[in-house]
């Protein structure tokens, strides 16, 4: 669920009118609901409450300092994939000792920085990386805590670009090879401490079945590594999906109640009920690495309609946001509900919603029946809190949008809109 709903004819984020924000701060404009972020974190934390665990927010989903600060205040851990993300977490008040560092291509500078900051563990993606980690730690005269990422070869049945748990993906070590990697590391790598085991099978999973399959397959391995090498934690990854279709309606508890068991998306209650019994007797701390689930439905991108273009084959609604602001539809074929900020009437029209970027892939939907919003009106691209601003760019020399955080009736700018001078800063 989330904090967006129509009130008095206008779409609100919590107690703040989005039309007012668009008029005051301009568009494109990202807006986030603080209470939705808190609620999603707390729900997930409570779902695993009966076992030793930590919810480590995946910073790559949305790395704004104010978002990270909200989660640091909740005592969250953090899943990072770069030295820059670790820097952000620390600046936001997060504890580096609650950070795990993933990613297949860590540099020496990043490894040294993370070791000096005292992170909890490196999630290592290959034996070659593990040996390099040992070399860097040895040069610094320290011991590097590490977990190797196992690839369980489980099909997450998600988009090919966000599937990570199959043998053909670049992530992790093949399941059949992992015990030998731990054995060699324990024998040969004096500057590495094997602290845990990690896995992640993909993102935007809306069924519990792949999670169960992966946990049941890897649990015996985790027990073996605990008994032989004394590992203390098992990170089971993230990947819990959110509602993209019917996003606005899903903010109402009645929407969830109206769905049959087969129709209802994966809930946190269902996730906890299925996995906790399979994890509670392992004697390991369980780490969870959600990103999209925490922030995805907590954000929208506001954009203003500029023109309506009528062609022989289609009608186009041209808006002032582009694929540089929100690339998911172009990159992942990602679906975002498009809702007028002014509560619409019954009129609907099949249209393409497109942006100003000089690319044919610059669209937010194609041949979709939408409320018939008009030039000058503001619409909200729903479920844009994850992999939205963090993937934005200055393509076509367009300034990055501003970001707003709403907390109850208060709204504050958490990133200023870029200026043209900001775009060329650093160039000569």
Query: Are 319 and 364 in contact, with CB atoms under 8 Å apart?
Result: yes
Looking at residue 161, its pLDDT comes to: 45
Shared domain for 171 and 289, answered yes or no, is: yes
Tell me the three-class secondary structure of 328-380, residue by residue. HHHHHCCCCCEEECECCCCCEEEEEEECCCCCCCCEEEEEEEEECCCCCCEEE
Q: Which residues of 385-396 are buried (b: 16+ CB within 10 A; e: fewer)?
A: bbbbbebbeeee
pLDDT tens profile 84-106:
999 999 999 999 999 999 999 99
Residue 153 confidence (pLDDT) above 90: no
Shared domain for 155 and 304, answered yes or no, is: no
Query: Are 43 and 76 in contact, with CB atoms under 8 Å apart?
Result: no
Share of the chain above pLDDT 90, in %: 86
Residue 203 confidence (pLDDT) above 90: no
Residue ending a domain, among 279, 294, 309, is: 294
Shared domain for 20 and 55, answered yes or no, is: no
Shared domain for 156 and 52, answered yes or no, is: yes
Instruction: Specify the CATH number for the domain of residue 18.
Output: 2.40.37.10
Question: Was 239 annotated as part of a binding site?
Answer: yes
Shared domain for 225 and 317, answered yes or no, is: no
Shared domain for 10 and 41, answered yes or no, is: no
Average model confidence (pLDDT) across the chain: 94
Residue ending a domain, among 260, 276, 294, is: 294
pLDDT tens profile 302-332:
999 999 999 888 999 999 999 999 999 999 8
Mean pLDDT of 103-111: 95
pLDDT tens profile 366-420:
999 999 999 999 999 999 999 999 999 999 999 999 999 999 999 999 999 999 9
Torsion of CA 155, 157, 162, 164, to 10 degrees: -10
Q: At what angle do helices 65-73 and 34-47 cross, to 10 degrees?
A: 40
13 flagged as catalytic: no
What are residue 403's phi and psi, to 5 degrees?
Answer: -125, 140
Question: Was 26 annotated as part of a binding site?
Answer: no
Question: Was 291 annotated as part of a binding site?
Answer: yes
> What total of structural domains would you count in the chain?
2
pLDDT tens profile 114-147:
999 999 999 999 999 999 999 999 999 999 999 9
Shared domain for 314 and 193, answered yes or no, is: no
Q: Which of 13, 99, 358, 365 is catalytic?
A: 358
Instruction: Specify the CATH number for the domain of residue 251.
Output: 3.20.20.10
Question: Was 108 annotated as part of a binding site?
Answer: no
Shared domain for 151 and 240, answered yes or no, is: yes
Looking at residue 247, its pLDDT comes to: 94
Shared domain for 335 and 246, answered yes or no, is: no
Shared domain for 402 and 348, answered yes or no, is: yes
pLDDT tens profile 235-266:
999 989 999 999 999 999 889 889 887 788 88
Question: Was 332 annotated as part of a binding site?
Answer: yes
With a CB cutoff of 8 Å and minimum separation 6, the contacts of 276 are 47, 48, 50, 51
Shared domain for 88 and 118, answered yes or no, is: yes
Residue ending a domain, among 294, 315, 345, is: 294
Tell me the three-class secondary structure of the chain, residue by residue. CCCEEEECCEEEECCEEHHHHHHHHCCCEEEEEHHHHHHHHHHHHHHCCCCCEEEEEEHHHCCCHHHHHHHHHCCCEEEECCHHHHHHHHHCCCCHHHEEECCCCCCHHHHHHHHHHCCCEEEECCHHHHHHHHHHHHHHCCCEEEEEEEECCCCCCCCHHHECCCCCCCCCEEHHHHHHHHHHHHHHCCCEEEEEEECCCECCECCCHHHHHHHHHHHHHHHHHHHHHCCCEEECCCCECCCCCCCCHHHCHHHHHHCCCCCCCCCHHHHHHHHHHHHCCCCCEEEECCCHHHHHHHEEEEEEEEEEEECCCCEEEEECCCCCCCCHHHHHCCCCCEEECECCCCCEEEEEEECCCCCCCCEEEEEEEEECCCCCCEEEECCCCCCCHHHCCCHHHCCCCEEEEEECCEEEEEECCCCHHHHHCCCC
Q: What is the pTM of this model?
A: 0.94
Shared domain for 387 and 411, answered yes or no, is: yes
pLDDT tens profile 156-199:
554 454 444 445 555 789 999 999 999 999 999 999 999 999 99
Q: Which domain holds residue 416?
A: 4-30+297-424
């Amino acid at each position: 669920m989330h904090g967006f709903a129509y009130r008095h004819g206008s779409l609100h984020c919590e107690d703040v009118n989005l039309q007012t924000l668009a008029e005051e701060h301009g568009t494109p404009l990202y807006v986030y609901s603080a209470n939705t972020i808190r609620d999603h974190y707390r729900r997930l934390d409570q779902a695993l409450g009966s076992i030793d665990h930590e919810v480590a927010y995946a910073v790559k989903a949305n790395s704004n300092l104010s978002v990270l600060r909200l989660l640091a205040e909740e005592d969250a851990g953090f899943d990072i994939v770069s030295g820059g993300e670790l820097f952000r977490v620390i600046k936001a008040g997060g504890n580096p000792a609650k950070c795990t560092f993933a990613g297949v291509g860590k540099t020496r500078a990043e490894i040294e920085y993370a070791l000096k900051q005292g992170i909890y563990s490196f999630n290592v993606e290959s034996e070659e990386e593990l040996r390099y980690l040992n070399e860097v730690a040895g040069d610094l005269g320290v011991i590097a805590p590490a977990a190797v990422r196992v690839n369980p070869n489980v099909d997450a049945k998600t988009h090919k670009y966000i599937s990570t748990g199959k043998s053909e993906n670049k992530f992790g070590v093949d399941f059949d090879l992992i015990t030998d990697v731990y054995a060699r590391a324990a024998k040969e790598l004096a500057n590495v401490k094997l602290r845990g085991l990690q896995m992640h099978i993909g993102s935007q999973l809306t069924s519990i079945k792949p999670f169960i399959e992966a946990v049941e397959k890897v649990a015996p391995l985790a027990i073996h590594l605990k008994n032989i090498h004394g590992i203390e934690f098992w990170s089971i990854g993230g990947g819990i999906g959110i509602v993209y279709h019917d996003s606005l309606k899903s903010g109402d508890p009645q929407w969830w109640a109206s769905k049959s068991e087969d129709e209802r998306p994966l809930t946190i209650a269902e996730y906890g009920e299925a996995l906790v019994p399979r994890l509670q007797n392992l004697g390991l701390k369980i780490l969870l690495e959600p990103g999209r689930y925490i922030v995805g439905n907590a954000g929208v991108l506001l954009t203003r309609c500029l023109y309506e273009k009528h062609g022989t084959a289609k009608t186009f609604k041209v808006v002032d946001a582009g694929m540089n602001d929100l690339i998911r539809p172009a990159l992942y074929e990602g679906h975002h509900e498009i809702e007028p900020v002014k509560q619409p009437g019954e009129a609907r029209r099949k249209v393409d919603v497109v942006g100003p970027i000089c690319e044919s892939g610059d669209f937010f939907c194609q041949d979709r029946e939408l409320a018939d919003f008009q030039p000058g009106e503001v619409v909200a691209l729903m479920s844009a809190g994850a992999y939205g601003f963090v993937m934005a760019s200055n393509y076509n020399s367009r300034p990055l949008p501003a970001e707003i955080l709403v907390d109850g009736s208060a709204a504050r700018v958490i990133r200023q809109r870029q200026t043209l001078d900001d775009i060329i800063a650093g160039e000569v």
